[in-house]
Amino acid sequence: MIFEVENYATMRDALERFCRFLADGGVAAERVFDSKLVASELIGNVLKHAKQQAKFCAEIKDGFVELCVFSKTPFEPPKISKNAELYAEHGRGLFLVDSVSVERTLTQEGGILVRIKAK
């Protein structure tokens, strides 16, 4: 499933549709929450730092939620998230993403691909 996000208002709508898609696909409730958290952090980063529209694709595959987030201009987040500080503004979101994800990589197309357990 593909979602287009133009701003924070459309992000909320896209995230709600994303969560329904996951729940309808049999993803466990706590993993739906994790997936929404990850999507929110990554899409929010595109809107905030790249100041652009975001696109994200999601599928349930081989026991995982696969989520890929794109911006019009490819960007590369740090490979390792180091900031676990509760009130930190820089790096905390990526730390959360990595904490609930099994894997985070970059695609050849410049997207960020994240895999989260579905059950």
Domain ranges of the chain: 2-117
- pLDDT, tens digit, 9 for 90 and up, residues 64-84: 999 999 987 766 555 555 555
Evaluate whether 103 touches 115 at the Cβ level (below 8 Å).
yes
Neighbours of 88 (CB within 10 A): 12
Evaluate whether 46 touches 52 at the Cβ level (below 8 Å).
yes
pLDDT at 104 over 70: yes
Candidates 69, 19, 35; CA nearest to 49 is 69
Residue 13's Cα: distance from chain center in Å?
15
Residue 87: band (very low, low, confident or very high) from pLDDT cuts 50, 70, 90: low
Evaluate whether 42 touches 97 at the Cβ level (below 8 Å).
yes
Q: For domain 2-117, say whether CATH 3.40.190.80 is its number.
A: no
- pLDDT, tens digit, 9 for 90 and up, residues 19-60: 999 999 999 999 999 999 999 999 998 888 777 788 999 999
Q: Report pLDDT for 83.
A: 54
Q: Report pLDDT for 46.
A: 87
pTM of the model: 0.84
pLDDT at 86 over 60: no
